[in-house]
Structure 1
Amino acid sequence: MGRADARRAAQGRNRRAKPKTKAKKGGIRRFFTWKKLLGAFLGVCLLGILGFIGLYLYVDVPDQGNAAATTQSNVYKYADGTVMARKGLLNRETVKIDEIPEPVQHAFVAAENKTFYQDSGVDLKGTLRGVLNTLRGRGKQGGSTITQQYVKNYYLSQEQTVSRKLQEIVISLKVDNKLDKKDILAGYMNTSYYGRGAYGIQAAAQAYYGVDVDKLTVSQGAYLASLLQAPSQYDWAIASEAGKKRVQERWAYTLDNMVEMKWLSPEDRQKQKFQEPIKPKPLPGVAGQIGYFVNAANDELIRKGVDEKELAAGGWTITLGIDKKRQQELEKAVKNKLTDDLKPDVRKVDRDAQLGAVSVDPKTGHVVAMYGGAGYTKHYTNNATRADFQPASTFKPLIFASALENHAKTQSGVPITPDTVYDGRNRRPVVGGTKPFAPPNEDERSYGRISVQQATNNSVNSVFAQMGADVGLDEVKKTAVGLGMDGSRMDVQPAMTLGTMGASPLQMAGAYATLDNHGKKVTPSLVVKAEHGSQETELPDPIGSQVLTRNTADTVTSVLRGVVNDGTAKEAIGGTDYQAAGKTGTSDDNKSAWFVGYTPKLVTAVGMFGEEAKGGKQVTLKGTGGGGRVNGGGYPAKIWAAYTAAAIGDDTGAKFDLETDLGSGGGPVNTPPPSQTPSHTPSQTPSQTPSQTPSQTPSRTPSHSPSQTPSHSPSRTPSKPPESPPASPTAGSGGSGNNGRPPGFDDLG
C-alpha cells in the first residue's frame, strides 16, 4: 500500500469514528421543555405571591359595616307605581358573647367551622374551590370559615365575584389577627340572618323558641346553627318534608361534631331530642293585606333566585301587579258577603271561618288582587297561598282536561266528551281502577244515566271517580302538575279524583287561568318588577308554553259555562250580564268550600277554610253564618260574583273566543236518535233525574234547560231519592246502540 492509500484509509477510519450529531428539534417542541415549564410555573407562583402581598397591603379593614349593618328599606309599590309599603328596620338586637350559653356557641362552631379556634381565619382550600366555581359560573359555593362569613356579613356584600372573594380573604386574615376569636364568633352570630325576619341570635331565639338567647338549650342552639345554611328551606313552619328531613340531619350532624370536639359527652348527646320551633308570629309594622303582599312578594323573589340575605338587607324597589281598585273591590266583596254575616261572639264556628282569594289576569299572569285573611297581624298565615286544604271538586275539570288531552275512552271504548253518558249512581264501584273505590255523591244523591256536562254541572263524584280510572290516575296527575298544582301533595290514589290533595287559591287560579288562556301555561306572579339600586332583576315570564291543546282548554271552558248557567253555582252567579265559567268545590267533611271562576279577562279563585281559632287545626265550616253546610255555591260563589261584577266594570260584553263545538257553549255531539233512547216508565223510576226521562236529547246539553237545575242540585234537595236500578256488570259495549243503549252511553263508566 502506498502513502496515498494509507492516508485515505486513515481518513476513512476517522470519518467512521466521528460521533453522529443529533437532529435539531423542530417546531413547537423547542418551547415546551420541562425546564421551561417549571420556570413558567414558578414565575406564575411568584407573581401570584407578589400580587397577594400587594393586595394585602392595599386592602384595609373597612371602618364601618356594610348596607345590611346600616340598614336600608325595601320599597313595595302598587301596579300604578304608588308606594304600598316601606319595610327595612331589621329585627336585630346585638348581644355580648357572655350572654350566649357556651354550649350554644360550640353548636355554631361545630355546625360551620370545627377548626375555628385554631385556624388563621381563612380556609384556603375551600376558598380556592369557591373562586374556581365562581369563575365557572356555578353560583354560590361553601367553604368559608366563620371569620370569612362574619367579614362577608358585616363588611362586604353577598355578591359572588372573584374580586369580592379576594377582598374577603385579605380582610379575614387581618380581622383574625386583630380581634379575639370570641369577638369574631359574637359578630358572626349577631349578623347572620336566620329567616322569619330575624337578624342575630337574640332575634332568632325569640322568633323560633320564644325565649331570650341566654335560655337556649343545646338542642335549640343546634337547630338555629343548622338553620343558617338555608333559612327559608329549613324553617320548620314552612319547610317541605324533604326540608324538615335535611334540617334534622344537619341538627344531628352538629351534635355529633360537638361530641367529636369533646364539647358534648356521648351520654348527653343521646339525651338530646329535636325541639320543634314555635309557629311564626308577625312582626309589628305591616298590618292588613299589605303584610300578606310583602311576605308573598319576598317569598316569590327568593323562589326565583334572589338571594334571601341580600333581599332582607334592603335597598330594593319591588313593584307588584296589585291593582288598587280591584283590591278594594275584593276586600269589599269579602266584607259584604261574608264577614258582615259572621257573629263570632255568638257562634263559635264563625270564629273558625277563614277565607283566601287570588285574582289573576290570564293574559299577563299578574296577580291583580289578593285576600290573605283578616289581616297579617291578626292571622299570620296567608290564606291565598296556603296549600293545606282540599280543593275538592274544583279539581274535577282537570280530570276532564286530562281525558280530552289523552284522547281517553270509557271502559267500553267510547271517547270521553262532554256528551258521553256515564252511570251516576251513588256509591257505584269504579271499574278498572287501581283499587276498590265507590265514592258517595254529595248528600248520597243518585243520578243514574248522566252526561259529562250534567255531571260537571252537578259535581257528581261517581262519574269523575270512574273517569279518573278511564284516563289513568298517573295521567291525571301529570296534567294537574302541568297546570301548576303541587305534585308532592298528590298521592296517586283513587280518592285524588275527589280533590283530596292540598292546594292553594293561588295554584287553582293558575290552573284555571291556563284554561282561560287557551291552554298556554299561566304561573301567577305577584311581582312585576324588582330593582336593586340601578340593576333590574330578570324575572321569568308568567306566561309559559302550551301545556294543553287549545281545543282541550276551550272545551273545558265551554263545559264550565254550564256550571255557572245551570249548575251548582247558578243560584249565586246565574243571570249575570257577562260570560263566565267556573266550578264549585266542597270537601266531604266540609272543612273547605271553593269557587274558582273566570271571565274572558279575569280569573279568580275563592277558598273558604275551617281553621280552629286557637289550635289552628282544620275543623268543619258547617253552621257558619247560622246556616247548615257551607257549599262552594254559597259564600265563595257570592264573593266571586260581587267582586267580578265590580272588577270588570263596563267590560261586560267580552265573550270567550272558543275553538270548540263541544260542551254547553256548543251543540250536542253524538246525540242518539229518538228511536235509540232508553225508555223508563214512571213506575220504574218514581224520582229519577231528568237525564233519565224520555226526553234524552235535551239532557245532553243541560245548560240550555234551566228547569233541570232544581232537581239536580244536592243543596236544594234535602230528601234522598230512590237509587236507580243497578247496571248490568257485563253491559257497556259502547256506542253500538245494542241492548237499547244510545251511542256514547257506557254502563260501566
Structure 2
Amino acid sequence: MNPYGEPQSSRARARVPGTPPDDDQPRTYSASARPAASGSARPAPDAYRRGAGGRASVGSASVGSASVGSGTSGRASVGSASVGSARVGARASVGAAAPPGRASVARAAVRPGGSGFGPPDGPDDVGSLGGGRSGQGKDKSKAAKRRRRTNILTAAAAVVVILLGAGVVGGTYFFDDVDLPPVASEDQSNVILDSKGTVLAKLGEQNRTVVPEAKINKVVEHAVAAAEDKNFYKHHGIDMKGIVRAAWNNFTGGDTQGASTITQQYARHAAVLKDISINRKLREAVIARKLESKYDKNQIMGMYLNYIYLGKGRYGIEAAAQGYFGKSVTTPAGQKNAITPYEAAVLAGIIKQPEPSATHKGYDPTINPTDAKDRWEYTMANMLEMGWISKDVYDKRKFPTPIKQPSSTASKSTANKPVGMVMRHVRAELAEMGISSTEFDKGGLTVTTTIDPDVQKAAEEAGSRKSESSPMNDKPATYQAAVIGIDPKTGRVLGYYGGDDPNGLDYGGYMSSNGEEIIGGQSPGSTMKIYTLAAALKEDISFKTTWDGTKLRPNGTKISNAGADPGTVCKGKIKYCDLETATIKSYNFPFYWIADGIGRDKVIEAARDAGIRHMYTDDGKLVDLTKTDKSTWEKTGYFDNEVAFGQYRVPPLEHAAGVATIVGNGVRHEAHFIKSVTRVDPETGKKSIVGSEKLDGKPVFNADQMSNLQSVMKEIVQVDNRDLRNGQQGIGKSGTWEFKEGSGDTWFVGGMPQLAATVWVGGAKNKVELKESNGRDMFGAGTPSKIWKKFLDAVIKAKDLKQEDFPNRVETGNPDSPFANGQEPPKVETPANNGNCVLGIIGPGCGQDNNNGGNGNNGGNGNGNGNGNGNGDGNGTGNGDNNGGNGDGNATPSPGDGNGNAPQTQQPTTTPTFAPDEGNG
C-alpha cells in the first residue's frame, strides 16, 4: 500500500472505464530516493536502419545458461522453447506465430553503429537493449556498457520467465517480432456551437479534443510527469524493475503488476494491450523502447496527453481542463485564463484512477476531494523536486476548486433537450458539404450552427406543451406543435422546435435519426395558397379578378369550403367573389380553378422555387420536386388540382423555407443550419475551414408581385389580435386540413421582415381530431396563430428589434384575366333623370337619396352616406360616395344597398373584419 491507502502506486496509469486495470505494483517514494533533477527532452536515433556490418544476435543457450554472442546467429532452446536471433535491420512484427510446442520470446533488433536507443555517446543513455557496434568494433564507453547491461537484463528476464515455466513468450524473438504500432488516431468529439459560440453538444464516441503538443502549456506536461513518471525525461521508456517484478510475482504466484512509465502506458494503448499478463508487460516494454527510438519525449508526451482518460467521459487533457476548470491547456502561461500549476497538478492527479471502484473512490476532486488533495500534494512536491516550479510557487500553493459540475453528462449537451433535434440536420448538411459519416465519426470538427439562442428559446417556449406560457400547455399529450424561425435575408434557421424528445420523431423536418432521409410530412392546407397565388400573379392574374363558387368540378362534385353556407360566402357574392376576399376568407374554389386554368404544374413549380423540395402523393409516395417535372406530377396517382389548397403532405421545414421566400420579397435563400465547419490540425494547431454556408439569394418571384401578395397577407394579421409587438408589421396565412369530421393539420405561417415564422399543430405520432379548449374544432386561426404571435413577440422583445416595414403595395395583374370565371353581377338600374337634376347633385329631380344611405334591403340599415344617386351597400357602415358607389361596411350580413338595389361589383375600400378560416383553413 502506498501512503494514501490505495492499492496501486502513485505512478500508475489512467484506467479507461470498462478497461481491465493495469498490472502495476504499489510503490512508495521517499525524498531521498527521488532523483535530483530532470533531464532535457531529446530525440533518440532510429535503431532500425540496416548497417553495413554483420548480424548481431543472441547466441546459443542451453538449459540453465544463456549467453550473448555476436557475429553469427544462434538459437537458444529450453526444451521446446527457443530464444532466437536478433539481427540488424530486421522488421518488427507483433505476435509472430511460433512452431507448435514453442513459447515465444520476441527478437531484438540492434541499430548499426550504436548499442541502443539513444545518442551513441549520451551520458544519460540507460536502459537500452542490444549490444556492440556493427562493423566498427565494440563501444567501450560507460553509457554503452549501461545500455548493454540493460538490454541483457531485459533479455535475461525473458529467458528467466521461460526457464520458470511461464510459457507465455516462447517461440519468437524478443525484439524483432514485436511491431511498432502506428500512432493511435484518437477519436475526438465534434463540437457543435450555436451562433453565439456556446456549446450545444459534443457529438462522437468520446469527448475529446486533440491539441498539438507544441501548444500545450509546459506546466501541464510537467505536472503529468510529476504525477505519473517523474523520470520520464531521463529514461528510455522501460521500467526494468517492473518487468523483473512481473516475472518474479508470476513465478511466486503474486500479483502480476509492475510500475509503468508514461511511454509504456502509451505503448499499451497504441498496441491495444489490455490483458493482465507478463506477455503483455514484455511486449509493452518492447514497444515503449521502439517508441522512444522513433519519437522524442515531447512527441510521446503529446500523444499521451491526448489519449488519457480523466473521468466524467472526458478523454484527453484539453477536455479535462475545459470540464474541470473551464480553461484550455493551449492558453500560454501568464495569459488570462491560463492553467495554473495548481490546477495542472489536480488534473495530473486524476490520471491514476479517474473513476471510483469497489475499493477506492478514485482521484476526481469533485467525487473524492480528500484523496484528490493528497494526490495533488504528492504531485506538487515532485514538481518542486524536479525543478518544474519554484519554491515560492510551492509555498503559496492552494488546492484549486473545480467549476460547478453538471448533475449529469447529459445536461452538458443537447441530450433530452429540444434543440438536440438540430443535430440531425447538421449531419445531413455535413453530408451535402462532402463531409462523410466516417470523417464525422473520426471527430475533431467544430460546427458553428445558425441557431440563435434567443430565437431558439422563444420557439421552444411558444411550441412546447411543457412550457407553461405556451398555448399548447393545456392541450392533450396526443397534440404536437412545430415552430420554425428562418431569417428571410439569409436562409439561416435561427430557431427550431420539432418536439421535446430529440431522439423521437422530428415534427419540424421529419428527418431520420441518422440525418439521411425525409420520412414524413403534413398537409399544409390553405397555407399552400401562397404558392398558388405566386403562380397566379406570375400569370398576370389580379387580386381583383372574380371567381364562381358555384361551379362544379369536371366530375360534377362541389368544391368544399369547409361547410360554409353558400349564401354567406363572399358576402353573398359567391358567383363573382374577388380573389382578395377569397384569400383572406380562405375559400378554396378560386384556387382550384387557378390550378385548372394555368396548370397545376405551375403551382407545384412555384412551391418548388420557393423552397419546397418534397411532396407526398395520396398513397404515400415521396416525390423529389427538384428531380421531377410536369411529366411526372401530372401522371395518374400523383397530384391533382387540390394541390393548390394544400392536400398533399410536405415537410414543415421545407414549407418554412418557402414561407421565408415570400416574406423575403421573392428572393430564395437556401434554409440551412450550418454557418461554418472548421478542423484543427493536431500537429500544427492550424485551424482550417472545411465547410461554410452559402448566403447568395436567388430571385424566384417578382418583387412587385410579392408586395401585392404581402399586402393581402397583412390584412389576415390585422384581425383576431394578431398584431405584433411594438406595432411591428406582420403578414400571415392560416391553414387547416380536415381529418374525419374535424381538423387534422392546422397551420399559421408568415412573419415580419426580420424573421419568417411557420407553426404547425397536429397529432403526435398519429392524426387526431384537433379541438380547442372550448371543445370547438381547431383551425389555423386558433391555437397555431396564437403560437405564431407569441413566438414573434418574444423574439422582438429578446432581440429588441426595431420596427421594419414591408414594401408598399404595387397592384399587379389583369383584373379581366381570361383565367377568371366569375359571373357577371346583376346590373344596377339607375333611376331616370327628370331633367331637373343639375349634374346629378342639385335640383328637384335628384330624388330622395341625399340621406344617410336609406334602408339596405337584406343588409340592415346602410348608414353609408349615399350621395346623389349612390346606392349605399348595406353591409354595415358603408360610404357610397359616387353614383352607384360602393358603401361596403365592416360587417358580414348579406349585401344590400341603401335603396334595396343589387350589390355593387367594385372592390371594398376599407379593411373588413373577417371570421377565421371559412374555407379549408
TM-score with structure 1 length normalisation?
0.52
Which residue in the other structure is 2:675 paired with?
A: 528
The answer on whether the counterparts of 1:389 and 1:503 sit within 8 Å (CA) in structure 2 is yes
1:285 and 1:656 map into 2 onto residues whose CA distance is 36
Change (3 A) 1:429 1:75: same
1:627 and 1:390 map into 2 onto residues whose CA distance is 23
The answer on whether the counterparts of 1:389 and 1:592 sit within 8 Å (CA) in structure 2 is yes
1:423 and 1:575 map into 2 onto residues whose CA distance is 38
Task: Select the structure with the greater relative contact order (CA < 8 A; seq sep ≥ 6).
Answer: 1
Which residue in the other structure is 2:478 paired with?
A: 352
Q: Which amino acid aligns with 1:480?
A: A
The answer on whether the counterparts of 2:481 and 2:507 sit within 8 Å (CA) in structure 1 is no
Give the C-alpha shift of residue 436 in structure 1: 5.8
Change (3 A) 1:363 1:340: closer
Give the 5 Å matches for 1:238-257: none
Aligned to 1:75, the other structure's residue is in SS state strand
Q: Deviations over 1:474-493 (max 9, x none)?
A: 11111111111135536321
The answer on whether the counterparts of 1:690 and 1:699 sit within 8 Å (CA) in structure 2 is no
Which residue in the other structure is 1:450 paired with?
A: 577
The answer on whether the counterparts of 2:779 and 2:917 sit within 8 Å (CA) in structure 1 is no
Q: Which amino acid aligns with 1:322?
A: I
**Equivalent of residue 785 in structure 2, options 621, 632, 637:** 637
Which residue in the other structure is 2:608 paired with?
A: 481
2:434 and 2:598 map into 1 onto residues whose CA distance is 37
Which residue in the other structure is 2:488 paired with?
A: 362
Which residue in the other structure is 2:767 paired with?
A: 618
**Equivalent of residue 559 in structure 2, options 426, 434, 439:** 439
Which residue in the other structure is 2:804 paired with?
A: 654
The answer on whether the counterparts of 2:459 and 2:484 sit within 8 Å (CA) in structure 1 is no
Q: Deviations over 1:92-140 (max 9, x none)?
A: xxxxxxxxxxxxxxxxxxxxxxxxxxxxxxxxxxxxxxxxxxxxxxxxx
**Equivalent of residue 663 in structure 2, options 510, 516, 522:** 516
Which residue in the other structure is 1:667 paired with?
A: none
**Equivalent of residue 88 in structure 1, options 192, 204, 208:** 204
Which residue in the other structure is 1:135 paired with?
A: none
Give the C-alpha shift of residue 686 in structure 1: 12
1:573 and 1:392 map into 2 onto residues whose CA distance is 23
Give the C-alpha shift of residue 715 in structure 1: 9.5
Aligned to 2:697, the other structure's residue is in SS state strand
The answer on whether the counterparts of 2:895 and 2:903 sit within 8 Å (CA) in structure 1 is yes
Question: Which has the higher mean CA deviation after the structures are superposed, 309-318 or 485-494?
Answer: 485-494
Aligned to 1:350, the other structure's residue is in SS state coil
Q: Which amino acid aligns with 1:709?
A: F
Change (3 A) 1:656 1:341: closer
Aligned to 1:591, the other structure's residue is in SS state strand
Unaligned runs of 5+ in 1: 1-56, 92-153, 156-283, 408-415, 664-669, 718-749
Give the 5 Å matches for 1:168-317: 286-317=415-446
1:644 and 1:683 map into 2 onto residues whose CA distance is 39
Q: Which amino acid aligns with 2:423?
A: V
**Equivalent of residue 392 in structure 1, options 514, 525, 536:** 525
Give the C-alpha shift of residue 351 in structure 1: 1.6
Give the C-alpha shift of residue 572 in structure 1: 4.0
2:586 and 2:824 map into 1 onto residues whose CA distance is 27
1:484 and 1:306 map into 2 onto residues whose CA distance is 24
1:705 aligns with 2:911: yes
The answer on whether the counterparts of 1:429 and 1:437 sit within 8 Å (CA) in structure 2 is yes
**Equivalent of residue 420 in structure 1, options 541, 545, 561:** 545
Give the C-alpha shift of residue 367 in structure 1: 0.9
Give the C-alpha shift of residue 403 in structure 1: 1.0
The answer on whether the counterparts of 1:520 and 1:547 sit within 8 Å (CA) in structure 2 is yes
**Equivalent of residue 506 in structure 1, options 646, 653, 656:** 653
Q: Deviations over 1:667-701 (max 9, x none)?
A: xxx99999966999639999995685449669724
2:556 and 2:182 map into 1 onto residues whose CA distance is 69
The answer on whether the counterparts of 2:471 and 2:786 sit within 8 Å (CA) in structure 1 is no
Give the C-alpha shift of residue 458 in structure 1: 0.9
Change (3 A) 1:81 1:419: same
Give the C-alpha shift of residue 353 in structure 1: 0.6
Give the C-alpha shift of residue 390 in structure 1: 0.6
Change (3 A) 1:337 1:584: farther
1:522 and 1:488 map into 2 onto residues whose CA distance is 20
2:823 and 2:645 map into 1 onto residues whose CA distance is 30
1:360 and 1:696 map into 2 onto residues whose CA distance is 44
Q: Which amino acid aligns with 2:523?
A: Q
Give the 5 Å matches for 1:332-343: 332-334=461-463
Which residue in the other structure is 2:730 paired with?
A: 580
2:591 and 2:920 map into 1 onto residues whose CA distance is 22
Q: Which amino acid aligns with 1:439?
A: I
The answer on whether the counterparts of 1:468 and 1:476 sit within 8 Å (CA) in structure 2 is yes
1:480 and 1:395 map into 2 onto residues whose CA distance is 8
Which residue in the other structure is 2:79 paired with?
A: none
1:452 and 1:644 map into 2 onto residues whose CA distance is 28
Give the 5 Å matches for 1:7-86: 63-64=181-182, 67=185, 70-86=186-202
Give the C-alpha shift of residue 593 in structure 1: 0.6
TM-score with structure 2 length normalisation?
0.43
Give the C-alpha shift of residue 398 in structure 1: 0.6
Change (3 A) 1:343 1:487: closer
1:406 aligns with 2:535: no
1:538 and 1:645 map into 2 onto residues whose CA distance is 34
Change (3 A) 1:555 1:285: closer
**Equivalent of residue 457 in structure 2, options 315, 328, 344:** 328
The answer on whether the counterparts of 1:573 and 1:637 sit within 8 Å (CA) in structure 2 is no
Q: Which amino acid aligns with 1:87?
A: L
The answer on whether the counterparts of 1:365 and 1:522 sit within 8 Å (CA) in structure 2 is yes
Aligned to 1:85, the other structure's residue is in SS state strand
Aligned to 1:594, the other structure's residue is in SS state strand
Give the C-alpha shift of residue 578 in structure 1: 1.5
The answer on whether the counterparts of 1:489 and 1:502 sit within 8 Å (CA) in structure 2 is yes
Larger Rg: 2
Q: Deviations over 1:376-406 (max 9, x none)?
A: 25x3434345642111110001101101113
Give the C-alpha shift of residue 580 in structure 1: 0.8
Percent of counterpart pairs with the same letter? Answer: 23
Q: Which amino acid aligns with 2:463?
A: V
Give the C-alpha shift of residue 81 in structure 1: 1.4
**Equivalent of residue 498 in structure 2, options 372, 378, 396:** 372
Q: If each structure's helix is expressed as a fraction of its own residues, which one has the higher value?
A: 1
The answer on whether the counterparts of 2:585 and 2:917 sit within 8 Å (CA) in structure 1 is yes
Give the 5 Å matches for 1:653-732: 653-658=803-808, 660-661=810-811, 682=858, 692-694=895-897, 700-701=907-908, 704-706=910-912, 708-710=913-915, 714=918
Change (3 A) 1:368 1:540: closer
The answer on whether the counterparts of 1:373 and 1:383 sit within 8 Å (CA) in structure 2 is yes
2:801 and 2:414 map into 1 onto residues whose CA distance is 38
Which residue in the other structure is 1:563 paired with?
A: 716
Q: Which amino acid aligns with 1:700?
A: Q
The answer on whether the counterparts of 1:292 and 1:382 sit within 8 Å (CA) in structure 2 is no
